[in-house]
Amino acid sequence: MVEFTTEPFELDTFPPHAAAARQAVDEAGLAAAVGPFGTGAEGEADQVLAAVTALLRQSLDAGATRISLQVSVLGRTDDTAAPEGDRP
């Protein structure tokens, strides 16, 4: 899952950088949900990573001055996060 917000905030219009971010997520085939503090999208790991790359490039090209994002792995517990030999 990826959650993101682009800035600068524009309350009167939907800024081009926000549209570019949403387009990147849509084109990656992710299920997106727009919330009051950002947008979240879920999908398979490869889809999410590809969407994040496109989101960053396209939003910055469209005028974003800051992009905040968080990527989370859903449905995995600490016991399955990494093989025991790979844990720190």
* pTM (predicted TM-score): 0.76
* Contact (Cβ atoms closer than 8 angstroms) between residue 20 and residue 61: yes
The residue-averaged pLDDT of 11-33 equals: 89
Domain count within the chain: 1
pLDDT of 53 over the 70 cut: yes
Residue located via tokens 């030999």:
85
Q: What is the pLDDT of residue 88?
A: 47
* Contact (Cβ atoms closer than 8 angstroms) between residue 5 and residue 71: no
Q: What is the pLDDT of residue 13?
A: 82
Helix (H, G, I), strand (E, B) or coil at 38: strand
Q: Which CATH number do you get for residue 62?
A: 3.30.70.930
Domain that holds residue 10: 2-86
